[in-house]
Chains A and B, each alone.
Chain A
Amino acid sequence: MNWFIPQTINGLTLGGVYALIALGYSLVYGVLRLINFAHGDVYMVGAVVAFWTARWFGWTQTADDRVGPLLMVGVLVMSVAACMALGYSIERFAYRPLRKAPRLNSLITAIGVSFLLENVFQLKAVFGASPRGFPETRLPWSSINVGGIDIRFEQILILAGTFFFLVVCRYIILHTRLGLAIRATSFNHNNARLMGINVDQITSMTFVFGSGLAAVAGVFVGMYQHQIDPLMGVNAGLKAFIAAVVGGIGNLSGAVLGGLIMGLSETYIAGSSYSDYRDAFAFGLLILILLVRPGGILGSVTAEKV
């Protein structure tokens, strides 16, 4: 048991990060039926912008130089704003022109955008290919001890953050006018247009939302692992996507549930003697869900009308 509880906490933390990214996948898929392959890279950009902002505010890029909590909040806000702008531009300039083209084209374009971001950020002039340290935060306490188990402040922050954003998202989607418009758009673009909804604007909004959440996840991971690199979005993006599908893509609670499942299973397997097979397990789970319950755990599938 002395192994199980800390691993569970680690797993939930990782799952929280996946969940935040998965929310963005789910939002965009719900509205556009597009797998936004570049989403994982937006998460990476979020971490990088935070890194830049901290440096701009005088952080000396050393592990000893801890930044204050207030500055960290400022860094987070900058990062979210930058990623929202990035998400908006990706949708506006790469996906919108292809709205009427076959779905395959959008998928290829998404992959192209993803490659583009990864490689631009690997340039020395931009960020560089190797990992760099992320500013540590001066915290009121670094960890608390509950019944002999250390829980880090960042872990609580990530889990609380995930839960907070899930509640906010659900509120927006289910109880606001904007949310109603998003749901209508997700149901049928043409019908939504006939009801006076600006579908393009709603689509942009979902990208902006999703990208903002990805930025939060990027900053959280930076704070938690103290290290970021330009390819950090590849693996996290894939895992988060699997999480979204496992939970039921298009379903917000499903995204969070899927994220936690992915995070927990990955941590448990990594701690077991089967740790070499953890990717095979993750993808195996994905395929199993696709075959047995294509709508995901909380989702549903609609049949095609003949």
Chain B
Amino acid sequence: MSRLARNILVLFGVIGGPILAQYCANRFGLSQYAQGILYKIALNVTLAAGLSLIIGFAGQFSLGQAGFMSVGAFFSGLFTSKLVLAMTASMNPAFLEGDTTSAAFLRGGFLILTMLAGMAAAVVASILVGLPSLRLRGDYLAIATLGFGEIGYNLLLVYFQKQYSDTAYYMPNEVNFMEKTVNIASSWTVALVGILVVRNLISSTAGRALPAIREDEIAAGAVGINSTRYKLLAFIIGSVLASAAGVLEAHQTLTVNPANYRFDRSIEMIVPVVLGGSGSLTGSVLAAGLFTFLLELLRGLPSDAQQYRTIVYAGVLVVIMILRPQGLMGRYELGDLFRYIARRRSAGRPTMTLPALAAQQIIAPQSGKLECRDLTIRFGGLIAVNGFNLSLAPREILGLIGPNGAGKTTCFNMITGVYRPTSGDVCLNDQSLVGSKTFRINQRGIARTFQNIRLFANLSVLDNVRIALHAHLKTGVPAAILRTAAFYKEEALTHATAMHLLDLLDLSRVADERAGSLPYGDQRRLEIARALATRPRVLCLDEPAAGMNPAEKRDLLNLIAKIHQLFQLTILLIEHDMQVVMGVCHRIVVLDHGETIAIGTPAEIRKNPAVIEAYLGEPAGHAA
């Protein structure tokens, strides 16, 4: 089946399916109670899809999502009520009611309009909340979002008390769009569109930036991912979905009650996401549906057993968390099951040759001139690096050596923007990099590896490299969500490029493995592959030979030479191992206690008395 046909089919399924279901439900007289349960399941599935994106994939723990439901409920509720009341004031009030098809369409139209109003409000609100709070991490983000949710509740409550002398707003009966006609249709359309958007996003190269941020934000920055932008994007999409659910709930109950959207509701939304598997959209969505259904079953218990409902709920939550912390589905998706059945591996041999990739300008040999001028950084009273000067000519390989604590990695961190130097300048091809964010510096052509390996440990080897190709994508998030032809084309190209790079570093046989499960040497090489994928001009390698045996070191030497020759790169190398440094570098800079003590060719450095003293701790004369 062609991709276009598949896209059209999916679109019809998403919109036509719920309408058909609604038609059948009405035709065969499905009880209002059963319809209500189906509607509730759709609502919770929508919420789970959005939260799964924020918590599971982007790794941002928000405890205030119910607040965005109230944003949707509030704005759409008031918007439609005011609009419809204004219209009915001048027209026959029956125009929205009745069983005629035109009235049904009108109701549907109004619902869509009001939904858009609610979503637009949620976009604004999520930017206002997200921009400041997404700078925070982990627990602090959770607390800040919780705070925003409670502030929102407080403000809405005061507004309702002042405006309507009530704790909630009750919509007029004319606005009753959903009853009978569009209950299932509207809620399930929203749910399926939500699932589709999230699924399309997370299974695209652009969307894989999100789990990269979850795994390691610093490494994500080092491969050119603008983490602020992506975190905000996930937050907006998740919040818009929450708001859509809020719109539906307001119109179903004809009430906007802020007390329904407090902290406990946010928790109620999070529970299925975590229980289903917080890195699995399938798991989160299934758990949300299942939980809603099971809780409805518990409602059937006699009334004096009702009080045990929440106790059972909380107890199950604690027990599952302890027994299966990764959630029921872990990180597995439905697609993984299909792939397993079909035994289709995403890896395989590279499908494009190097010249073909070069022709697409995916692998373009390029080099740059890197200069550091008087680079100095202080941490409190400690001067970690003092007046560091460096000039790397294009295609030079320069070694940076020195005893532990000499300031080598600190230099790397200043060059790549992880630390901002106290004074001095870093220039790439005569343009200053100081003050730029890490991801921007990477995009301008400096890639690095880390001393303590920082791979995206829970992602596949292939994904680690694919993510790094991210900054050079031409199709963005909208194309990924809409699955355009250009998107598929670029996705194939990305895959081919990544596989080629893996092949080059002898890693294509493990492309489907979890990066964190690779042996040490493979992890080091994967970091190099990932750095190369960002198309650098300058490659900074931080102790690539650390922990390798002599045979592996020899392979590494050959590898660095091969990469240098193939990509025409400028390479800056931190290394303790003299065999590697002397074997591959054109020139060597020696640091000690933050000061440069020698610069020269390997032969010169070997004989330099200051270097010998720094390493052996005694004046060179004594040894003789």
Contacts and interface: CB of A to CB of B under 8 A. Distances in A.
Contacts of B69: none
Interface stretch (B314-322, B345-353, B521-529, B571-579): B314-322
Interface in A69-121: 94, 97-98, 101-105, 107-109, 111-113, 115-116, 119-120
Taking each of B218, B274, B325, B418, which has the highest tally of chain A beta carbons within 10 Å of its own beta carbon?
B325
Contact of B310 (A35, A115, A294): A115
A124 B311 CA distance: 13
Interface string B120-160: 00000000000011011011101110111011011101100
B201 interface: no
A115 B413 CA distance: 45
Contact of A35 (B143, B147, B413, B450): B143
B contacts with A: majority SS: helix
B317 A287 contact: no
A113 B318 CA distance: 7
B409 interface: yes
Interface string B153-185: 111011001000000000000000000000000
Contact of A104 (B55, B161, B314): B55
B198 to A, nearest CB: 19
A103 B139 contact: yes
B267 interface: yes
B147 A109 contact: no
Contacts of B450: 306
A146 interface: no
B150 A276 contact: no
A101 B322 CA distance: 9
A284 B151 contact: yes
A276 B322 contact: no
Contact of A103 (B138, B158, B218, B317): B138
Contacts of A108: 270-271, 274, 317, 321
A33 B140 CA distance: 11
B105 interface: no
Contacts of B325: 98, 101-102, 105
A57 interface: no
B322 A109 contact: yes
A236 B310 CA distance: 21
A261 interface: no
B307 interface: yes
B98 to A, nearest CB: 43
B139 A97 contact: no
A286 B150 CA distance: 11
Contacts of B271: 108
A200 interface: no
A168 interface: no
A221 to B, nearest CB: 21
Contact of A287 (B139, B144, B218): B144
Interface in B53-103: 55, 61
A35 B146 CA distance: 13
Contacts of B158: 276-277
A185 to B, nearest CB: 18
B314 A112 contact: yes
Interface residues of A, number: 39
Interface string B357-395: 000000000000000000000000000000000000000
Interface string B395-408: 00000000000000
B278 interface: yes
Contacts of B218: 304, 306
A103 B315 CA distance: 19
Nearest to A286: B147
A94 B321 CA distance: 9
A172 interface: no
A109 B321 CA distance: 7
Taking each of B61, B142, B321, B326, which has the highest tally of chain A beta carbons within 10 Å of its own beta carbon?
B321
Contacts of B315: 112, 116
A8 interface: no
Contacts of A304: 218
A290 B471 CA distance: 31
A286 B321 contact: no
B313 interface: yes
Interface in A205-250: 241-242, 245
Contacts of A33: 139
Interface size, B (range):
35 or more
Given A109-B321, A119-B314, A290 B138 contact: no
Contacts of A279: 150-151, 153-154
Contacts of A107: 61, 139, 142
Nearest to A93: B322
A33 B147 CA distance: 19
Taking each of B154, B270, B326, which has the highest tally of chain A beta carbons within 10 Å of its own beta carbon?
B154
A306 B148 contact: no
Contacts of B138: 103
A50 B317 CA distance: 29
A113 B143 CA distance: 18
B139 A280 contact: no
A122 B136 CA distance: 36
A44 to B, nearest CB: 15
B409 A104 contact: no
B318 A291 contact: no
Interface string B40-62: 00000000000000010000010
Contact of A286 (B143, B157, B270, B307): B143
A290 B310 contact: no
Given A283-B147, A284-B147, A286-B147, A276 B161 contact: yes
A287 B450 CA distance: 34
A88 to B, nearest CB: 16
Contacts of A119: 307, 310-311, 314
A290 B138 CA distance: 12
Contacts of A283: 146-148, 150-151, 154
Contact of B151 (A112, A242, A280, A294): A280
A99 to B, nearest CB: 10
B378 to A, nearest CB: 14
Contacts of B161: 276
A241 B142 CA distance: 13
A167 interface: no
Given A105-B274, A109-B321, A284-B147, A115 B135 contact: no
A104 B274 contact: yes
B310 A98 contact: no
A115 B313 contact: yes
A123 interface: yes
Contact of A291 (B132, B154, B267): B132
Contact of B318 (A116, A124, A277): A116
Interface in B314-352: 314-315, 317-318, 321-322, 325-326
B555 to A, nearest CB: 27
A123 B409 CA distance: 59
Nearest to A100: B325
A294 B138 CA distance: 12
Nearest to B409: A306
Contacts of A124: 307
Contacts of B326: 101
A35 B151 CA distance: 20
Interface of A: 33, 35, 94, 97-98, 101-105, 107-109, 111-113, 115-116, 119-120, 122-124, 241-242, 245, 276-277, 279-280, 283-284, 286-287, 290-291, 294, 304, 306
25 contacts: A35-B142, A98-B325, A101-B321, A101-B325, A104-B278, A105-B274, A107-B61, A108-B274, A109-B318, A109-B322, A115-B310, A115-B314, A119-B310, A123-B308, A245-B143, A280-B154, A280-B155, A283-B146, A283-B147, A284-B147, A287-B132, A290-B136, A291-B132, A291-B136, A306-B450
What 7 pairs between A and B have smallest CB-CB spacing?
A: A101-B325, A283-B147, A115-B314, A280-B154, A112-B317, A112-B318, A116-B314
Given A283-B147, A286-B147, A290-B143, 7 more contacts: A97-B322, A104-B278, A116-B314, A276-B158, A277-B154, A279-B154, A304-B218
